[in-house]
C-alpha cells in the first residue's frame, strides 16, 4: 500500500500549512506516523518524554535525536521520574504539560499524536464497561480544539496491525514497550482480550462504524456556544445531558477534563468553581464557563456587570481580560 494512501487527504491538507509538533515515543505507532507525515511533506518537529522507567528508555531517546537530525527536524526531550502509583494518569499529565509548554513558547498550531483505531476501540470498550453515553464512549476525535492549539489524531482509522505492516515493509526501526503487555493493567487487558481480536475480525467495518457514530454525535451535540477569549457562553438546554456536554467541551478547550464527580457537582449546584480554576455558572438561558480569577474591581464596573446580569464568578475574568460587556449579548 503506498504510504500516502494511509492518511486521509483532508487531514494532510489541514496540517500542510501549519506549524506542527509530533508527540514521539520511538514506538511503532509514532514511528509510522513520523514517516507517513514525512512522505506527505508535512512540516513538523518532535517531542519525546523520557520517563526513565525501562532499560531501553535512553535508547529510544537517542533514536529520536538521530531520526530528527537525519530528517532536519527540531527535537525536544523532557526527562522526568514519576511515582509508581497512578503512573498512567501522571504520565499523561506530564506529557501534555510538556507539549503545551512548547506550543505556547514556540507558537505551534497543532499537537499531532499517534492514537490509532485500536486505542479508540479500547477507550470505547472501557467506557462501555463503566456505564457511559455515546459522546463519552467515542472520546477520541481526529480534531480536538484545546486552549492554545488543535490536537490532531491522523491515525484513528488505522489499526496497529496496519501500521506494523507498513513499518515492516519499509524496514523501519521502532521500539516495543513491554509494559503494554502487562495484562494486570486494565487498559492492556481490554486491548489484548477484546479490542485486538475484534479488530482482527473486521477492521474496515469497525472504522466505518466510528465514522457513522461521529455523524450521530454531531446531531446530538449542536454547537450552541460562543467564545470570547477564554470565556465560553453556551446555550442552556433543558436537557442536562446536553448542557453538561457543552460545559465539558468548553472546559476541554481550556485544558480541563471533567471527572464524573465534577460533572455531578456542576449539575447539582449550577454555580461552582471546578478544580479551583474554572467558574461554571448556569443562568436562565445560558451557561458561562471561564477561568476563575480574583480581582479588585471598581464600583462602576461592578454596577455595569449587575445591570448586564453577569454572574459574580465571571466578573473578575471579564475585568482582567478587558472584554467589552456589550459583546456578551
Q: What is the pTM of this model?
A: 0.76
Q: Are 236 and 311 in contact (CB under 8 A)?
A: no
pLDDT at 1: 40
With H, G, I as helix, E, B as strand and everything else as coil, classify residue 185. Answer: coil
- Secondary structure E strands in 96-230: 110-112, 143-145, 150-152, 225-228
Per-residue burial over 80-97, b if 16 or more Cβ lie within 10 Å, else e, is eebeeeeeeeeeeeebbe
pLDDT, tens digit, 9 for 90 and up, residues 15-44: 999 999 999 999 999 999 999 999 999 999
pLDDT, tens digit, 9 for 90 and up, residues 182-240: 888 888 999 999 999 999 999 999 999 999 988 887 766 556 678 888 899 988 888 88
Q: How far apart are CA 42 and CA 18, in angstroms?
A: 9
pLDDT at 223: 65
Q: How far apart are CA 49 and CA 87, in angstroms?
A: 14
Domains, the chain, ranges and CATH? 3-217 (3.40.50.620), 225-328 (no CATH)
Amino acid at each position: 500500500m503506498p504510504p500516502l494512501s494511509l492518511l486521509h487527504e483532508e487531514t494532510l491538507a489541514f496540517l500542510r500549512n501549519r506549524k506542527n509538533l509530533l508527540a514521539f515515543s520511538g514506538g511503532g505507532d509514532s514511528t509510522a506516523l513520523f514517516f507517513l507525515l514525512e512522505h506527505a511533506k508535512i512540516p513538523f518537529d518532535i517531542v519525546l518524554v523520557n520517563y526513565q522507567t525501562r532499560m531501553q528508555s535512553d535508547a529510544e531517546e537517542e533514536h529520536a535525536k538521530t531520526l530528527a537530525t537525519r530528517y532536519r527536524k527540531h527535537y525536544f526531550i523532557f526527562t522526568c521520574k514519576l511515582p509508581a502509583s497512578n503512573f498512567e494518569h501522571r504520565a499523561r499529565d506530564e506529557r501534555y504539560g510538556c507539549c503545551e509548554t512548547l506550543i505556547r513558547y514556540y507558537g505551534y498550531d497543532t499537537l499531532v499524536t499517534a492514537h490509532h483505531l485500536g486505542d479508540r476501540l479500547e477507550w470505547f470498550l472501557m467506557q462501555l464497561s463503566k456505564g457511559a453515553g455515546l459522546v463519552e464512549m467515542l472520546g477520541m476525535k481526529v480534531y480536538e480544539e484545546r486552549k492554545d492549539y488543535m490536537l490532531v489524531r491522523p491515525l484513528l482509522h488505522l489499526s496497529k496491525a496496519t501500521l506494523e505492516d507498513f513499518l515492516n515493509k519499509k524496514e523501519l526501526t521502532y521500539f516495543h514497550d513491554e509494559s503494554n503487555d502487562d495484562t494486570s493493567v486494565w487498559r492492556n487487558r481490554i486491548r489484548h482480550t477484546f479490542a485486538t481480536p475484534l479488530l482482527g475480525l473486521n477492521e474496515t467495518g469497525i472504522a466505518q462504524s466510528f465514522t457513522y457514530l461521529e455523524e450521530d454525535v454531531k446531531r446530538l451535540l449542536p454547537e450552541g456556544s460562543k467564545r470570547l477569549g477564554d470565556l465560553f457562553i453556551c446555550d442552556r438546554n433543558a436537557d442536562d445531558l446536553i448542557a453538561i456536554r457543552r460545559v465539558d467541551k468548553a472546559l476541554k478547550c481550556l485544558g480541563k477534563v471533567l471527572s464524573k464527580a465534577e460533572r455531578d457537582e456542576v449539575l447539582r449546584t449550577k454555580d461552582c468553581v471546578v478544580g479551583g480554576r474554572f467558574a461554571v455558572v448556569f443562568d436562565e438561558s445560558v451557561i458561562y464557563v471561564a477561568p476563575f480569577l480574583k480581582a479588585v474591581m471598581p464600583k462602576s464596573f461592578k454596577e455595569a456587570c449587575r445591570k448586564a446580569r453577569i454572574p459574580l464568578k465571571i466578573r473578575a475574568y471579564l475585568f482582567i481580560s478587558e472584554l467589552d460587556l456589550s459583546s456578551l449579548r
